[in-house]
A and B are shown apart, each in its own frame.
Chain A
Amino acid sequence: MTAVPLQPPRRLVSFTLDGEETRVPEGSTILDACRSAGTDIPTLCQGDTLTPKNACRVCVVEVEGARTLAPACSRRAEPGMTVRTGTERARHSRKVVLELLASSTDLSTTPRAAEWIKEYEAKPDRFGEDAARVDEQPKIDNDLYVRDYDKCILCYKCVDACGEQWQNTFAIAVSGRGFDARISTEHDAALPDSACVFCGNCIEVCPTGALSFSTEFGMRAAGTWDEPAQTQTTTVCAYCGVGCNVTLHVQDNEIVKVTSPHDNPVTHGNLCIKGRFGFQHVQNRD
């Protein structure tokens, strides 16, 4: 049985969201409030299991009286504040952020990116053919997962998951500065030479597909990746007594990747190398 910890009752904060009087528990972000109100705000660097780094700025909204826009994912609702999510100013920034990202990185495997680009009428091409791009080759230095930083939006999620917030391994960090900033191990060493323990918790939180299972990477390259045809089965990892939940993604009767439910109150989507990658034996048929 899973024990769901009971939170002490929280006070409510009331504020105005898009003209509606809204009440949310104290400590909620503007994004929380938007989601309960059914307002869709694009988000990229926000993750359900991590403290937001508010780096992508695609979720900005207008707070009355503030000089600049505020990131909905991390600004907390304050009593009496007036927030508007759909103003021209907010939409303009979201559009430009999408254009800047799509013109410099590969968003082809970022869920919903194409939809938002359309919705905001973003035109990433308008910076011209010569617009600088991140231009990275996929790093394939181990059998388990691939780092394709051409798709990386520098959301810091993998760094936070590997470091202080979950794994405490600190195998990767941001290096360099500005447009040259990259997620990297020390001296850009190959993963097997780094502190990485191959838990794959960074893959779990990566919002863009920059980090992916070697299986997925290979199948995508071969054109055989077919997500709609996949089934997902959540079960219990049998390797040790912790009993983490694993979700097996299966295509054509083969496990193609393993994720873990983020709402598990104990593991929050985290696994170790065995649960994440130790599925080969399942499909050894001889």
Chain B
Amino acid sequence: MDLRYTDAVPSDAEREAVDALLGSPPSGWEGGTERTDEDLRWARGGAAAAKDRRDQLLPALHTVNDRVGWISEGALNYICRRLTVAPAEAYGVATFYAMFSVRPRPAKVLHVCTDLACAARGSAAVSADLTDRLGPPGTPAEGAVWQESPCLGLCERAPAALLLQAGPEAPSGPDGTAAGDAPRHCAVVAPATAPALVAAARSPRDAPAEPSAAVAVPQAGDPALVLLRRVGTVDPESLDDYRATGGYSALRRAFALGPAGVIREVLDAGLVGRGGAAFPTGRKWQATAQQADGPHYLVCNADESEPGTFKDRVLMEGDPYALIEAMTIAGYAIGAQQGYIYLRGEYPRAYERLSRALTGARTRGLLGPDVLGQGYAFDIEIRRGAGAYICGEETAIFNSIEGQRGEPRSKPPFPVEKGLFGKPTAVNNVETLVNVLPILEHGAAAYAATGTETSTGTKLFCVSGQVARPGVYELPFGANLRELLDLAGPPERLRAVLLGGAAGGFVRPDELDVPLTFEGTRAAGTTLGSGVVLVLDDSVELPRVLLRIAEFFRDESCGQCVPCRVGTVRQEEALHRIVDRTGAAADEDIALMREVGQAMRDASICGLGQTAWNAVESAIDRLGVYK
């Protein structure tokens, strides 16, 4: 490797932040301030060491960004020296993620959501008002800078905003005040108004505290709830409360069954993945468990970024131990000793809750070298994403964790064979994993008794937009859309419902009988996707909704393959041209989009490009938007 660095050096704060993560530099070669005689006699590191530590690149970038708010040339140089990473590669990684900046910016960054659910609830007016008060997005004011953001996963409280303030770790002592910079802080403002946002930008610490996760669960307390049963009724911070309400009985049962028994149970229960692809979870586990190569890894996909999705956040914030227990069971079943939670970077509260829960579980021997005294070693690490929808793609997660750009890999080989670090890996999303608990607690048969023949159990739906009671709802599979909307309080003049998010499809008000099952939505030509149910009344201008969807895909395309990288741009351009047109005036562009859409669907590498035209197509064909 020809490593070459520029002369830029890190500031003290940057150096301290990186050292806090990686420890002090062992030698001058790795960025120590001085080179000793010994350093000059021994060259250390090299390609092998670089491979070992490359996965610390994303955490290192985070740590500088958290401390200073952006990543300077000196900081990048220092990280590269510490990790033996080529600066060009690290720069490529840093510029891949929307939450990082390689240019100076204020310590406070205000992310104002302008995505689907927030747009349906007035984010445009908030942005306009904010522009009047603080200037257009990107203009520093009040020691802060605001920018428009894709969905923040706070859609039940739309319009939403998230303020992240960089700074040193908050002092822990009672009278501890940080010298110099204000300490790190984050604040959620939702529902947002421009005055509240300005106040939060001025003084993030004084922003009102976020309400409990329970406000996102209108059914909270309903005895019929399975996955959501603890959210809002049990203290999410308390391991004792978790155990008092049945926690860790599933893991005990798992140990009694043995790994193969657990997989059998999950297979018999008919559990399929809730992330959108609906692949049988038991088969994925079996395939991973059977691989001779090792070690095996478990990755929990908690990079919930589909616009309109927030159920995983509610689960993680409201019942963090459930995810940890479920992952322990999954790890046991597939023979993994290490699990990763790949958590979206925009979920600071979930990060905090999960981190504390992990510590709690470790302290009580529920994670670590000897889980529950059963001789099984398992631990979990949280890896934070940094603002890239594509990292929810199962192979892009691997690249992201490994410290590469979060670009999807081509399949085959599949993750069960060659996944994280090239080893057999099972990737499951949060909701899927949490379903394992009722399966083991009550047995496969009891679980499968709920739902339909091919979609068993219950499903979480993220209802947002123009409804009276937005939030996460849990219903047995087989309920139809009308029943769900009745619970949430539908608008008087319903125009359309977007199922499955930006990658999903629209249904009309006369189609509310569609059963909310994988097979039911498929038969109706739409998709359940990740459970997004975005409700729009006739006050919204659909062409603008479509434009926002197109913009989202254009922004989030990783750029690897041509159909998606350029196709999403062409799709957005065409939608711009016809935003105020109908009939023959729109025909030519619609035909153009169909052709581009077909190629994106057929020839893109991953699901992002393959689905980028779905929602637009369904709006044209089912809703007749441009008629």
- A interface residues with partner B (beta carbon < 8 Å): 53-58, 60, 68-69, 71, 74, 89, 92-93, 95-97, 100-101, 103-104, 126-128, 130-132, 153-154, 163, 168-181, 184-187, 189, 193-195, 197
Asked if residues B565 and A189 are in contact (CB atoms below 8 Å), the reply is no
Question: Which of B89, B562, B570 lies in contact with A153, CB distance below 8 A?
Answer: B562
| Chain A proximity mask over B499-543: 1 for CB below 8 Å, otherwise 0 | 000000000000000000000000000000000000000000000
Q: Which A residues are in CB contact (< 8 Å) with B557?
A: 177-179
A69's nearest neighbour on chain B, judged by CB, is B602
Residues in B343-393 with C-beta less than 8 Å from chain A: 388
In the bound assembly, the distance between CA atoms of A189 and B4 in angstroms comes to 12
Distance to closest chain B CB from A44 (angstroms): 9
* B32 contacts chain A at the CB level, 8 A cutoff: no
How many angstroms between the C-alpha atoms of A93 and B570 in the bound complex?
15
6 residue pairs bridging A and B, Cβ less than 8 Å apart:
A69-B602, A93-B599, A97-B599, A179-B554, A187-B102, A195-B2
A100 touches B88 (CB 8 A): no
B602 A68 Cβ-Cβ under 8 A: yes
User: Number of B residues contacting the other chain (C-beta, 8 Å)?
Assistant: 50
Q: What 1/0 mask marks residues of chain B from 87 to 100 whose CB sits below 8 Å from any chain A CB?
A: 11111100110100
Q: Is the CB of A173 within 8 A of B562?
A: no
Q: Please tell me if the beta carbons of B554 and A186 are within 8 angstroms of each other in the complex.
A: no
* Contact call A186/B6, Cβ cutoff below 8 A: yes
B562-603 to A contact mask, C-beta < 8 Å, 1/0: 110111111001000100000000000000100110110111
Given known A-B contacts A169-B1, A193-B6, A57 and B603 have beta carbons under 8 A apart = yes
Instruction: Assess whether B3 is interfacial by the CB under 8 Å rule.
Output: yes
Q: Which of A56, A173, A175, A177 contacts B86 (CB 8 A)?
A: A173
Question: Contacts A131-B570, A179-B565, A180-B559 hold; do A100 and B596 have CB atoms under 8 A apart?
Answer: yes
With A93-B603, A181-B565, A186-B6 as given contacts, are A170 and B558 in contact (CB-CB < 8 Å)? Answer: no
CB closest chain-B residue, reference A44 = B562
Residue numbers in B under 8 Å from A172 (CB-CB): 88
**Which of A53, A100, A177 has the largest number of chain B CB atoms within 10 A?**
A177
**What's the least CB distance linking A172 to chain B, in Å?**
6
Output the least CB separation between B334 and chain A (Å).
26
Q: Which residues of B contact A153 (CB under 8 A)?
A: 562
CB distance from B351 to the nearest CB of A (A): 23
Looking across the interface, which residue of chain A has its beta carbon closest to that of B85? A170
B610 at the interface (CB under 8 A from A): yes
Contact between chains at A177 and B95 (CB < 8 Å) = yes
B405 contacts partner chain A, Cβ-Cβ < 8 Å: yes
Known: A56-B561, A127-B592, A173-B92. 20 other contacts (CB 8 A): A54-B561, A55-B560, A68-B604, A89-B602, A96-B567, A96-B603, A97-B562, A101-B566, A154-B562, A169-B1, A173-B91, A174-B405, A176-B95, A177-B557, A178-B554, A185-B91, A186-B86, A186-B88, A187-B87, A187-B91
CB nearest to B95 among chain A residues? A175
Known: A128-B573, A130-B573. A195 touches B559 (CB 8 A): no
Q: Which of B90, B556, B558, B604 contacts A186 (CB 8 A)?
A: B90
Chain B residue, CB-CB nearest to A172: B88
CB–CB A184/B573 < 8 A: no
Q: In the assembled complex, which residues on chain A have CB atoms less than 8 Å from the CB atom of B561? A: 54-57
Whether B86 lies near A195 (C-beta < 8 A) is yes
Q: Which residues of B contact A103 (CB under 8 A)?
A: 566, 570
CA distance A60 to B4 in the complex (A): 39
| CB–CB A184/B91 < 8 A | yes
The smallest beta-carbon distance between A188 and chain B, in angstroms, is: 8
Q: How far is the CA of A53 from the CA of B3 in the complex (A)?
A: 24
Q: Kindly identify which residue among A93, A95, A184 contacts B88, using a CB–CB cutoff of 8 Å.
A: A184
B303 to chain A, nearest CB (A): 15
Question: What chain B residues lie within 8 Å of A187 (beta carbons)?
Answer: 6, 73, 76, 87, 91, 102
Query: How many residue pairs, one in A and one in B, have C-beta atoms under 8 Å apart?
Result: 169
Distance in angstroms from B82 CB to nearest chain A CB is 15
B91 (CB) vs chain A CBs: closest residue: A186
Binding site for A on B (CB under 8 A): 1-4, 6, 73, 76, 86-92, 95-96, 98, 102, 388, 405, 410, 554-563, 565-570, 573, 577, 592, 595-596, 598-599, 601-605, 610
Complex CA–CA separation, A185 to B73 (angstroms):
12
Contact at A60–B86, with CB atoms within 8 Å?
no
Q: In the complex, what residue of chain A is closest to B564 when comparing beta carbons? A: A178
A127 touches B562 (CB 8 A): no
Contact status B91-A96, CB under 8 Å = no
Q: For the complex, give the distance between the alpha carbons of A181 and B570 in Å.
A: 16
In the bound complex, CA of A227 to CA of B557 (Å): 38
Q: Which residue of B89, B559, B573 is within 8 Å of A181 (Cβ)?
A: B559
User: How far is it, in angstroms, between the C-alpha of A96 and the C-alpha of B596 when the chains are bound?
Assistant: 6
CA distance A195 to B96 in the complex (A): 21
CA A127 to CA B598, docked complex, whole Å: 16
Whether B563 pairs with A176 at a CB distance below 8 angstroms is no
Interface contact A168-B562, CB-CB below 8 Å: no
| A127 contacts B570, C-beta separation under 8 Å | yes
Are B563 and A171 touching (Cβ within 8 A)?
Answer: no
**Contact for B603 among A53, A69, A169, A173, CB less than 8 A:** A69
Known: A176-B559, A186-B90. A68 touches B603 (CB 8 A): yes
Q: What is the CA–CA distance of A194 and B89 in the complex, to the nearest angstrom?
A: 12
Enumerate chain B residues within 8 angstroms of A71, measured Cβ to Cβ: 410
**How near does chain B come to A78, taking the closest CB pair, in angstroms?**
9
Decide: B567 and A194 in contact? CB cutoff 8 A. Answer: no
- Are A194 and B4 closer than 8 Å at their CB atoms? yes
- State the Cβ distance, A23 to closest chain B Cβ, in Å: 21
> Bound state CA distance, A210 and B133, in angstroms?
45
Docked-complex contact A174 and B596, CB < 8 angstroms: no
**Docked CA distance A147–B98 (Å):** 27
Question: Complex Cα distance A68/B186, Å?
Answer: 42
Contact indicator B87/A186 (Cβ below 8 Å): yes
* Nearest neighbor of B407 in chain A, beta-carbon distance: A174
A169 CA to B2 CA in the complex, in Å? 5
Task: State whether A179 touches B569 (Cβ < 8 A).
Answer: yes
Inter-chain contacts of A89 with B (CB < 8 A): 598, 602
Closest 9 CB pairs of A and B: A170-B86, A181-B559, A96-B599, A173-B92, A186-B87, A100-B566, A195-B4, A93-B603, A178-B557
Contact B88 A177 (CB under 8 A): no
Who on chain B is nearest to A188 by CB? B91
Complexed CA–CA distance, A154 and B565 (Å): 10
Q: Which residues of A contact B559 (CB under 8 A)?
A: 154, 174, 176-181
Nearest residue (CB) in A for B94 is A175
Q: Are B566 and A179 in contact (CB-based, < 8 A)?
A: yes
* Least CB separation from A52: chain B residue: B410
**Cα(A101)–Cα(B569), bound, Å:** 12
Residues of B within 8 A of A60 (CB): 602-603
Q: State which of A174, A194, A197 has its C-beta within 8 Å of the C-beta of B92.
A: A174
- Could you say which residues of chain B place their CB within 8 Å of the CB of A179? 554, 557, 559, 565-566, 568-569
Contacts of B89 in A (CB 8 A): 163, 170, 173
B87, B556, B592, B598: which contacts A92 (Cβ < 8 A)?
B598
- Kindly report which residue of chain A lies nearest to residue B86, judged by CB atoms: A170
Interface centre among B88, B555, B610 (most CB of A within 10 A): B88
Within the complex, the shortest CB–CB distance from B585 to chain A, in Å, comes to 15
Expressed in whole angstroms, the minimum distance between the Cβ of A125 and any Cβ of chain B is 12
CB distance from B75 to the nearest CB of A (A): 12
User: Chain A's nearest CB lies how many Å from the CB of B58?
Assistant: 15
CB contacts (< 8 Å) of A128 on chain B: these are 573, 577
The reply to whether A93 and B563 contact each other, CB–CB distance below 8 Å, is: yes
| CA gap between A174 and B89 in the complex, in Å | 8
